[in-house]
Amino acid sequence: MRAEIIAVGSEMLTPDRVDTNSLFITERLNEIGVEVIAKTIAADDREVLAGLLRLALTRADVIVFTGGLGPTADDVTREAVAETLGVPLDEDPATIERLEQRFARRGLKMPVINRRQALVLRGAEVIANDKGTAPGVLFEREGRLIALLPGPPREMKPMFEGLVRRRLARFAGGVGVFRRVLKTTGRPESQIEEVVQPIYARWASAPTPIETTILATPGQIELHLAVRAEDAERARVVLDAATDEIAAALGPTLFARDNRRLEEIVGELLRERALWIATAESCTGGLLASRLTDVPGSSDYVERGVVCYSDRAKTELLGVPEEMIREHGAVSEPVGLAMARGIRERARTDLGVGISGIAGPAGGTPAKPVGTVVVALAWAGGGRVRTLWFPGDREQVKFHASQAALDMVRRHLIDA
């Protein structure tokens, strides 16, 4: 069974925009055994969309549009599809009601132009959008399924994960490709590669072969595994065994067996052990605290954080001695450790984290170049501190540093 994805939006045809929706949709389609033969980013232009749909109808079983369902005049996906299929658009009363309620909750009256978003292909299945205004639409014709989904990922994804995937799976009914993402941090790609390559080679010729890809992102290396299987249960067994093998080879470098983020893993460990944490950040400027508190329920283990950007704040908020800063510099192991100890004592938490570094672009010296970061952890009766160097621009250094701090907490909690 073959699919085409058509992402609509002139703004995505500019030189600096990447379409990420189609990656997500491709993964989900692969899982239910649907192969993607082409994906197009198309302008908000009726003729362009009509041409693509006509072509797709000649060769694809599933055609997924995303985007171009907004309320404004430049959003033409609905009209282009309706015209090409020769199907009228009707106003969906349930959608009108949902939209009116949505605006009412914010104390607003629904603007007239938003009524356009309630127009759906006659005979189509309407999928409510819990995160936004435009509903999704599924339309079946002559053995082909056409889906119209909103463009914003935060609206499209939950819709897809819910009803759309189930409907498509029923429609497709075949052998699926199942994937798993394992994550590591703290070691370079080449080292990870050396460890996993012999395992990968064995997997390629196994009875149920596993396809593998390594994806390096700043501060994190992901191992993507994929198997073809008739059902999720069979795939799960194979992928579990493969994950165990990788975990044994990589040890604590592997932090997630299931695509979870490092802050989620750390949060779970803190929750399991009923520990409280507090953070003292300089160069990361609050990013560590922000990542920790991105996780729902983090108020159960994050007590507080301070961003001590000035030296005065380090002294006032954390009790770091002025003469220590003068003698060693704000970016030094003694100061990093004093920050971790200072926040732990003042917040009366189990753990305290300290980060101090030079995020750049200015502020580097030959001895402490841009990218130098001190990461420290304090606990009852102990502490550790490391000086690291990270490549990249300011935001990358900040991310790397927050990642190293989270990983230091994780390793401490699992005694690694």
Looking at 15-68, which runs of residues are DSSP E strands?
Answer: 35-42, 62-66
Q: Which helix (H) or strand (E) holds 416?
A: none
CB within 8 A of 247, min separation 6: which ones?
Answer: 182, 254, 257
> E strands along 210-340, which residues?
211-217, 220-229, 254-256, 277-281, 302-307
Q: Which stretch binds a copy of itself (CB under 8 A): 38-46, 163-171, 232-240, 321-329?
A: 38-46
Token output for 258: 């299931």
Candidates 227-235, 356-364, 372-380, 405-413: pick the segment binding a copy of itself (CB under 8 A): 356-364
Are 402 and 390 a contacting pair, CB within 8 Å? no
Q: For a copy of itself, which is the closer residue by CB, 73 or 380?
A: 73
Select the residue interacting with a copy of itself from 122, 128, 141, 213 (CB under 8 A).
Answer: 213
Q: Which stretch binds a copy of itself (CB under 8 A): 76-84, 119-127, 299-307, 407-415?
A: 299-307
Question: Coil, strand or helix: which one is 37?
Answer: strand
Backbone angles phi, psi at 59, to 5 degrees: -150, -10
Out of 1, 171, 309, 333, the residue judged to bind a copy of itself by CB under 8 A: 309
* Site membership for a copy of itself, residue 61 (CB under 8 A): no
Q: Which stretch binds a copy of itself (CB under 8 A): 141-149, 228-236, 287-295, 376-384?
A: 287-295
Size of the site for a copy of itself (CB under 8 A): 106
The correct pick among 145, 347, 374, 413 for binding a copy of itself (CB under 8 A) is 347
Which CB atom, from 76 or from 124, has the smaller least distance to a copy of itself? 76
Q: How far is the CB of 189 from a copy of itself (least distance, A)?
A: 7
Q: Would you count residue 296 as binding a copy of itself (CB under 8 A)?
A: yes
In contact, 199 and 245? CB cutoff 8 Å: yes
Does 269 interact with a copy of itself (rule: CB under 8 A)?
Answer: no
Residue 2 neighbours by CB under 8 Å, 6+ apart: 34, 35, 36, 37, 59, 60, 61, 62
Quick one: which segment of 22-30, 136-144, 230-238, 245-253 binds a copy of itself (CB under 8 A)?
Answer: 22-30
**Whole-number minimum distance, CB 377 to a copy of itself, in Å?**
18
In the complex with a copy of itself, the residue whose CB is nearer, 98 or 179, is 179
Position 171 contacts a copy of itself (CB under 8 A): no
* Residue 261 sits in the site that holds a copy of itself (CB under 8 A): no
Kindly state the smallest distance separating residue 157's Cβ from a copy of itself, in Å. Answer: 11
Phi, psi of 366 (to 5 degrees): -55, -40
Give the residue, chosen from 85, 96, 163, 216, that forms a contact with a copy of itself under the rule CB under 8 A.
216
Pick the closer one to a copy of itself by CB: 125 or 388.
Answer: 388
Pairing, β 176-184 against β 254-256: antiparallel
Tell me the window of 101-109, 166-174, 231-239, 242-250 that interacts with a copy of itself (CB under 8 A): 101-109
- Enter the tokens of residue 117: 């978003």
Tell me the torsion sign for CA atoms 186, 189, 195, 200: positive
The nearer residue to a copy of itself, 124 or 254, going by C-beta atoms, is 254
In the numeric block, the tokens 């693509």 are attached to 52
Q: Which residues pair with 216 in a beta bridge?
A: 221
Identify the residue among 33, 285, 334, 364 touching a copy of itself (CB under 8 A): 285
For a copy of itself, the closer CB: 24 or 171? 24
Q: Is 111 in the site for a copy of itself (CB under 8 A)?
A: yes
Nearer of residues 50 and 125 to a copy of itself, judged by Cβ: 50
Q: What are phi and psi of 304, to 5 degrees?
A: -165, 170
> Applying CB under 8 A, which of residues 33, 286, 329, 334 lies at the interface with a copy of itself?
286
Yes or no: say if 237 and 216 are a contact pair by the CB < 8 Å rule: no
Q: Find how far residue 168's CA is from the centre of its chain.
A: 24
The sign of the torsion formed by the CA atoms of 181, 270, 158, 218 equals negative
Among 125, 245, 396, 412, contact with a copy of itself (rule: CB under 8 A): 396
The rounded distance, in Å, linking the Cα atoms of 15 and 7 is 16
